[in-house]
Amino acid sequence: MKKIFTISFFIVIIFNGCATLFGGGGQQAIYVSGNTDKNMKATVKYSDGSRSQYVTIPETIFVNRKQQDLIIESTDDEFDTYIVASELNPYFVPNFLGSIFGFTSTAIDLQNGAMWSYDESVIVNEQ
């Protein structure tokens, strides 16, 4: 049992780098495409309604990571509204475990949003 604890302890220390450094930081690129070759106009905003971007799909968008889902809506009713869920960044977990033992702090990840992530590629379906 002591050996398992020791190995787990060293794994946490080695991989306790924060999500800001290893998980992409506070911003993320998302490639948004459609199931057709046609260009489609859309808005991208957070679920709280903040920060609308106007894009022409296909496009790579850059968003700040937040604990808010992204909503992609067609401006011309060409496709159904698509929601990109905000999920816990897997790189945050070792950082959190390290903070339990006092080796690292999660404050930076919490402050800049790096503890969250979105899908890197999204396909919207034309109506």
Asked if pLDDT for residue 66 goes beyond 70, the answer is: yes
Would you state the pLDDT for residue 21? 61
Q: Which residues pair with 70 in a beta bridge?
A: 46, 84
Instruction: Tell me how many domains the chain contains.
Output: 1
Asked if pLDDT for residue 86 goes beyond 90, the answer is: yes
Check if the beta carbon of residue 117 is closer than 8 Å to that of residue 89. yes
Strand 70-74 relative to strand 40-46, pairing: antiparallel
What pTM was computed for the model?
0.75
Which range of residues forms the domain containing residue 106?
2-124
pLDDT confidence tier of residue 56, bands split at 50, 70 and 90: very high
pLDDT confidence tier of residue 11, bands split at 50, 70 and 90: low
| CA within 13 Å, CB half, 71 | 13
Q: Which of 91, 55, 95, 59 is nearest to 76 (CA)?
A: 55
